[in-house]
Amino acid sequence: MSHIDLAVLKSKFRGALVGSLLGDCLGAPFEGELVSSGDKIVIQKYFDKLESPDLKGPIRSYTDDTAMMKSVAKTFIDKPEVDYTYMAKLFVKEYFAEPKRGYGESIVEVFSKLRKRKFEDVYKPAQEQFNGSGSFGNGGGMRVAPVALYFYNNYDAMIDVAKKSTQLTHTHSLGVHGAVFQCIAVSQALACNPKKKIDPEQFCNELKQKMKEVEKENDDGLNLKVEQPYVDKINVIQHFLKAKYNDELDEEIGIVLGNNICAIESVPTALYCFLRSLEEIPTVKTDNIFRRTIQYAITLGGDTDTIACMAGGIAGAYLGEEAINRNMAKQCESYEKTIEMADSLYNAVCGASNRAQFLLSDSATFITIGLSDTALMDMVVSNLQQQRATTEQLRREAAIKRMPVSLAVADIIKYITEHEQDDCLLVGFTSQRVNPFREKTPCTLL
């Protein structure tokens, strides 16, 4: 990303988090379903109604996907230096405050151990899962969008935090690398100009190169072929994107790419949904790429809330908030709070007090962030307010009456002179009885 308007970046922050929320809320009612051709028509009507300003009905609730994403974002907002113990506490607190959000049994066990052991070792409970092999579920991927946003200009830190934050609950390499896969996908989408069409082939090739580096961790040092399951999945995505769309293709995607709770069977599927939705899909009748993305993800069935959540996060990071229908968004629980959370995360990264230049960790060159007129004015006003506050503080300090050093020294000399007769170090003690350093008189034991 060589040039980006801060106003656009702020919109993309909102888009990524709101996009994740909508995918979660709107996908949840269809979770675990096998979707037929008739069901796709029902889903089409469902989305058509959601865009209506006259729709009245119950708010669509979010699941554990959004609950944990909120905790990740709050960690960065509250703790600029990432505190994983704090993040773990937020996860646990969120669960025990609202346990009926659809958490899996294994994650509940991790949270219970963390609480019981008072967060002594926040990684140990997850490491103990499944006889020590750890979970390979998609729980890390579903909540990772804030990591891509917070570290959008620091790739190495982003990868490191994506891994460590995931390992609080998922330690199997498939679970960890799945979260990294999703994080990179959101990051790449964030870097794309929303006014220019993405080249799916190029997007996949770039992601493939990065995942090859990530999956080098699978090398066991035996000089055998290194397993790279996520790189293999990207090859499958590229194959399917070249295929002509039909209903049978969706069934094949569910089998080959997957649509279940395993990271390797859902994270790549979310990316495919986004890239496929850049073009028209016969069974999803809308011109809006964002809506098409999450609606299509839901029509694939299976773990619909999480796959749509991840696909929505990628689409929102690319398109920005403007692409998301407000009537649809208002049907989702915590929409306004998610906007506020996105703004707080943006301010934590790109506040007006920060410089408009950042050193890229992976290129040793500077990029300058282009400011829109509005963003520039906001920065100027903020800086003026800071300068006025500093000037006022200096004026108050200047008004304080202070004694010259020479007068203070004269006062000290005067005091010493007037009280020198009382200074035992100068005149000695008036008697040995008041001398604390005198020799002690011996005593006789009777």
Task: Look at 40-54, 313-327, 419-433 and tell me which has the smallest mean pLDDT.
Answer: 419-433
Residue 126 has pLDDT above 60, yes or no: yes
* 166 annotated to a ligand binding site: no
Q: Could you report the per-residue pLDDT of 87-117, keeping only the tens digit for each?
A: 999 999 999 999 999 999 999 999 999 999 9
Mean pLDDT across 27-38:
91
CB within 8 A of 228, min separation 6: which ones? 211, 212, 215, 218
**Residue 115 CA to chain centroid, in angstroms?**
23
Q: What is the pLDDT of residue 413?
A: 85
Q: Which residue has the tokens 């963390």?
A: 114
SS3 of residue 137 by DSSP: strand
pLDDT at 1 over 70: no
- Class level of CATH domain 6-355: mainly alpha
Task: Give the start-to-end residue ranges of the domains of the chain.
Answer: 6-355, 372-446
pLDDT-above-90 percentage for the chain: 70
Q: How does residue 155 score in pLDDT terms, banded at 50, 70 and 90?
A: very high
Integer distance in angstroms from the first to the last C-alpha of the chain?
Answer: 94
pLDDT level of residue 407 (50, 70, 90 thresholds):
confident
Give me the residues paired with residue 358 across strands: 367
Please tell me the predicted confidence (pLDDT) of residue 2: 46
pLDDT tens for 220-231 read 777 667 789 999
Q: What is the mean pLDDT of residues 78-92?
A: 95
* pLDDT confidence of residue 358: 34
User: Any known ligand binding at 306?
Assistant: yes
**With bands split at pLDDT 50, 70 and 90, how would you rate the model's confidence at 410?**
confident
Phi and psi at residue 357, to the nearest 5°: -130, 145
The predicted structure's pLDDT at residue 223: 67
**Mean pLDDT over each residue of the chain, to the nearest integer:** 88
pLDDT over 70 percentage in the chain = 87
How many angstroms separate the CA atoms of 309 and 146, rounded?
A: 13
pLDDT of residue 224: 65
Q: What is the mean pLDDT of residues 123-138?
A: 95
Q: What was the pLDDT predicted at 22?
A: 98
Residue that wins the pLDDT comparison between 398 and 20: 20
Structure confidence at residue 420 (pLDDT): 80
Q: Are 294 and 311 in contact (CB under 8 A)?
A: yes
pLDDT, average across residues 327-339: 96
Joined tokens for residue 245: 């769309």
**Residue 425, both tokens:** 């170090």
The stretch 202-215 carries a mean pLDDT of 97
Question: For residues 384 and 359, which has the higher predicted lDDT (pLDDT)?
Answer: 384
Q: What is the pLDDT of residue 382?
A: 60
In 3-state terms, what secondary structure has residue 324?
A: coil
Question: Would you say residue 366 has pLDDT above 80?
Answer: no
Distance CA 311, CA 186 (A): 9
Q: Is a pLDDT exceeding 50 seen at residue 47?
A: yes
Three-class secondary structure of residue 22 per DSSP: helix
Report helix, strand or coil for 8. Answer: helix
- What is the pTM for the complete model shown? 0.79
Please tell me the CATH superfamily of domain 372-446, with its number. Answer: Transducin (heterotrimeric G protein), gamma chain (4.10.260.10)
Mean pLDDT value of segment 130-159: 96
pLDDT for the residue 381 = 58
Nearest to 263 by CA among 158, 398, 141, 80: 141
Check residue 320 and report its DSSP letter. -
234-293 residue pLDDT tens: 999 999 999 988 878 998 999 999 999 999 999 999 999 999 999 999 999 999 999 999
Contact predicate 207/228, CB 8 Å: no
The sign of the dihedral angle between the CA atoms of 14, 176, 193, 274 is negative
Reported as a pLDDT band with limits 50, 70 and 90, residue 441 is low
